[in-house]
Amino acid sequence: MPTATLPQDNPFATPSSLPYSTPAFDRIRDVHYLPALVEGMRLHRDEVRAIATDQNAPTFANTIEALERSGALLTRVSKVFFNLTESTTNPTIQQIQAEVAPKLAAHQDAIWLDAQLFARVEAVHAARESLEPEQKRLVERYLTAFVRNGARLLPDAQQRLRAINEEMSSLTTKFQEHLLADTKALAVLVDTKEELAGLDDSAISAAAGAAKEAGKDGKFLLTLQLPTSQGILSQLAHRPTRQRVFEASMTRCSRGNQHDTQGMVRKLAALRAERAKLLGFASHADHVLADQMAGSAKAVNEMLSGMAPQIVQKTKAEAAELQAWLDRNQKGQQLAAWDWSWVAEQVRKERYAFDEGAVKQYFELESVLQNGMFFMAKTLYGCELRERKDLPVYHPDVRVFEVFDGDGSKIGLFYADYYARPSKRGGAWMDNFVDQSGLLDQQPVVLNVMNIQKPGAGQPTLLSFDEVTTLFHEFGHGVHGLFSRVKYPLLSGTAVPRDFVEFPSQFHEDFAFDDAVLTRCAKHWQSGEALPKELVGKIKAARTFGQGFASLEYIAAALLDMAWHSIPAGTEIGDVAAFEQQALEKAGVWFPLVPPRYRSTYFAHVWPGGYSAGYYAYLWSEALAADAFAGVMENGGMTAANGARFRQAVLQRGMTQEPMAMFAAFRGRALDTKALLKRRGLL
């Protein structure tokens, strides 16, 4: 096999000698990435050509398994580099990303469009019935991947496909850079504490710290998070500040400046439509969804449109309730979009006699982590997470935990990167530094990333209950990667359809509401007093409060995603905002008081984020999660027996089985969507 020529002082030249082959972050420098990426592509290309030109008859071992073993260097450096482009980027990393993105797209195309290699894959596929089940599954996934990436196209069409893929790769990289820059540029600078009325000391301290870091000592900086509706709006009593924050969020990348993404959005939509047509599909949505659980754009649109009228009706009822509160308490004030979260919080206080600020005092990060989330992991799965401070990290805020199974055996590593910083994109996510694979003798190294505001010196990190559930959500992705017991990398861990990958994560959200979890982790950060049982009941009862708003902003974004990606090839889109409004009006979800969770110009999930024609997946997966959790509650709740069943039926399987078969194996029957409607308070 070909050998690498990378200098030995480059940390990527050889596999890491650290436990679990975790990256040697203490040795990795920006200067190491580009040479390793370039050499990784060269070496991978040579490895693949050796497979394609093998004179021996194609077999599973010399073709499919050989492909699974190839590209080790490229995988090693890519796993680190592309994680850091999202969590700890800088101008050098951005420059490298812009340079290598089109090269990587071309590199992948060279593999998928290699006629000799595809012929070998087809030959192995034709003889697949003699293989073991996981091998057969792997061969089928390879054939599907080759065909979906253009292996059966004529040469001219393949050449155009290569050009499209390179251009899209460059555009998505630029989109990511523009969004990060404009999000930073639009952070709201506040002069006085009076303008921050309603925020607790921890939040004010965080704003002061952010201002100081930005060179504005003595002022307060309210940094923006990824969604349209900023979490801080529920606390800000000062209406002009609310309006400033909301409008800054809404106008990201749409102001005609150097960070504007409107041209990129139009171009990406057009390129994706053209690519889909080349591959034989009516739209990009149809191409994407043909390989998802949903199966077609028609099925997704039917699901979304079927729920839309009920959601809009509930949202309008909520709006009337909020306006009634304003009429009683702030006469003459008309409800505006920037008022919604704050007024809703006032109504919630009245109805359930608690407010988010008071609740936060009981959810200190370390307690939630150790006494809540890790306790859940121990109870359900028998595993323990023990912090390791001897392993290098890529940022001082990052923590590493070693994961042990109930019998004491080692499972893998869990990296926790929870604090926001200017170099990190918004949102929360899970990824891997090392994928689990029996073939490669690899144990998983996973990470969870969030954007919790870091408090000032001496202040505790207090979480809203939304942040608590997000913590559990991302950990659900984490255990999906950690508990994987699959032989082949292509089928490992979270390598499942978009509308299934959110199932384990949303399933774990509900355990944040478990009495045993709350009893242990919800302690007042000063007094140590347990969260009063009365307040626990109110939090649970309030869960369905405001679900009209939450459901509408989500479904509007999902429908917007589908609208952009249902465009036929050759369609000319003019004004982005006009297209957005027309699409939402046509779907019956245009409601200015509740804009989409993400507008087109900062919809990171669907432009650079891999969820194009896939944002619906959260709702699809939530139906699975709600029904599965209902099954858990029918069978004793958070028990080791239920955890073992979920681990065996879902978490350890990767993509070795059809997703719905995994769900049915756990639930014991087909999906029932009533649990979803109950979960959201819509039934």
Query: What does the buried/exposed string (b/e) look like for 1-11 if buried means 16 or more CB atoms within 10 Å of the residue's CB?
Result: eeebebeeebb
Contact 682, 551 (CB under 8 A): yes
Relative to beta strand 410-419, strand 445-452 is parallel
**Residue recorded with tokens 């979260």:** 341
Instruction: Give the number of C-alpha atoms closer than 13 A to the C-alpha of residue 305, restricted to the C-beta side.
Output: 14
Burial 665-683 (b: 16+ CB within 10 A, else e): ebbeeebebebbeebbebe
Q: CB 160: neighbour CB atoms within 10 A?
A: 15
Strand partners, 530: 523
The three-state secondary structure class of 324 is: helix
Q: Which residue has the tokens 């990767």?
A: 654
Contact 76, 15 (CB under 8 A): yes
- The neighbour count for residue 200, using CB atoms within 10 Å, is 17
The C-alpha atoms of residue 284 and residue 307 are separated, in whole angstroms, by 23
Distance CA 4, CA 26 (A): 22
Residue 68 annotated as catalytic: no
Selected catalytic residue, list 47, 86, 134, 474: 474
Are the CB atoms for 427 and 467 separated by under 8 Å? no
Tokens of 677: 């409607």
Question: In 10 A of CB 298, how many CB atoms?
Answer: 12
Mark residue 427 as left, alpha or beta (left: phi above 0; alpha: psi -120 to 50; beta: remaining). Answer: left
Amino acid at residue number 207: A
C-alpha angle 241/322/229, rounded to 5°?
45
Output the 3-class SS for 545-605.
Answer: CCHHHHHHHHHHHHHHHHHHCCCCCCCCCCCHHHHHHHHHHHHCCCCCCCCCCCCHHHCCC
Nearest to 488, CA basis, from 442, 544, 546: 442
Q: What share of the chain is helix, strand, coil (3-state, %, to 5)?
A: 60, 5, 35
> Is the CB of residue 377 less than 8 Å from the CB of residue 394?
no
**CA-based nearest residue to 216, from 191, 243, 197, 195:** 191
Max distance between CA atoms of the chain, in angstroms, equals 83
At a CB cut-off of 8 Å and minimum separation 6, what does 361 contact?
200, 462, 524, 525, 526
Rounded to whole angstroms, the Cα distance separating 242 from 582 reads: 27
Handedness of CA 428, 442, 500, 170 (dihedral sign): positive
**Amino acid code (one letter) for 632:** V
Collect all residues with Cβ–Cβ distance below 8 Å to 495 and sequence separation of at least 6.
489, 654, 655
Phi, psi of 440 (to 5 degrees): -95, 5
Show which residues are catalytic. Answer: 474
